[in-house]
């Protein structure tokens, strides 16, 4: 994953919306790596391209946004998913959030505000992911130290600083 240029897949059944979102993403240096007109077509695209961010419409033919979320929910923490909709049904929003959506944006949101919301959502997602990765690494470091999985050839004791230097987190 490239933090400076997040890879984006846009999913919307309306071509003009996909085009507008693609132009919007390019203005903020997000790289659009794929587009789909419905949920059914996006599933193999997600699997193949491994995006960082998915802009997902709620109401589409063949498979709607909620159904896509249900299919990818076990991997939803891998993606920053922003749902787009013209409606703001509270139940739909709650269900989508429970399925791993990072944020919900109405399609009639002014473009400058939408850009800001996408950037802020991406930033929050990245910060959360970094914290999780650091937490996982600190658990690994504790396990290494506890189980004495690393030893120096001269059998001297390894300090916490040695372990942290070995697995330094940027």
- Tens-digit pLDDT profile for residues 40-80: 899 898 989 899 999 998 888 888 888 888 888 776 567 89
The answer to whether 67 and 39 are in contact (CB under 8 A) is yes
Q: Looking at residue 67, what is its pLDDT?
A: 82
One domain, residues 115 and 159: no
One domain, residues 112 and 161: no
One domain, residues 38 and 96: yes
* Range of the structural domain that residue 140 is part of: 135-166
Q: Is residue 41 assigned to a domain?
A: yes
- Using alpha carbons, select from 95, 76, 37 the residue that is nearest to residue 45: 37
Average pLDDT over all residues of the chain: 79
Q: What is the pLDDT of residues 95-127, one digit of tens each?
A: 878 888 888 888 888 999 999 999 998 988 888
Mean pLDDT confidence for 8-18: 94
CB atoms closer than 10 angstroms to residue 87: 10
CATH code at 55?
Answer: 3.40.50.2300
| Number of domains the chain contains | 2
Q: Is residue 2 assigned to a domain?
A: no
One domain, residues 140 and 109: no
One domain, residues 68 and 112: yes
One domain, residues 116 and 154: no
Q: Is residue 1 assigned to a domain?
A: no
Q: Looking at residue 10, what is its pLDDT?
A: 96
One domain, residues 154 and 121: no
Question: Degrees (nearest 5) of the Cα angle 6, 7, 8?
Answer: 115
**Distance in angstroms (rounded) separating the CA atoms of residues 170 and 164:** 11
Phi, psi of 133, deg, nearest 5: -65, -40
> Which tokens is 123 given?
């930033």
One domain, residues 96 and 151: no
Q: Is residue 72 assigned to a domain?
A: yes
One domain, residues 123 and 145: no
| pLDDT tier for residue 133 given thresholds of 50, 70 and 90 | low
Q: Is residue 66 assigned to a domain?
A: yes
156 vs 92, residue with greater confidence: 92
| pLDDT tier for residue 32 given thresholds of 50, 70 and 90 | very high
Q: What is the pLDDT of residues 71-103, one digit of tens each?
A: 887 765 678 999 898 876 778 778 878 888 888
């Amino acid at each position: 994953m490239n933090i400076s240029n997040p890879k984006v897949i846009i999913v919307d059944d309306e071509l003009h919306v996909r085009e507008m979102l693609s132009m919007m993403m390019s203005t903020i240096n997000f790289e659009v790596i794929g587009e789909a007109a419905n949920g059914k077509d996006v599933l193999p695209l997600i699997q193949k391209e491994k995006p960082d961010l998915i802009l997902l419409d709620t109401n589409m033919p063949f498979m709607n946004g909620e159904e896509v979320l249900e299919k990818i929910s076990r991997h939803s923490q891998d993606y920053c998913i922003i749902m787009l909709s013209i409606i703001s049904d509270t139940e739909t929003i709650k269900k989508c959030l429970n399925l791993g959506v990072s944020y919900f944006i109405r399609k009639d949101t002014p473009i400058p505000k939408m850009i800001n919301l996408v950037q802020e959502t991406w930033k929050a997602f990245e910060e959360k992911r970094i914290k999780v990765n650091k937490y996982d690494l600190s658990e690994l470091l504790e396990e290494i130290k506890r189980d004495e999985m690393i030893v120096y050839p001269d059998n001297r004791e390894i300090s916490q600083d040695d372990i942290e230097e070995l697995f330094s987190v940027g």
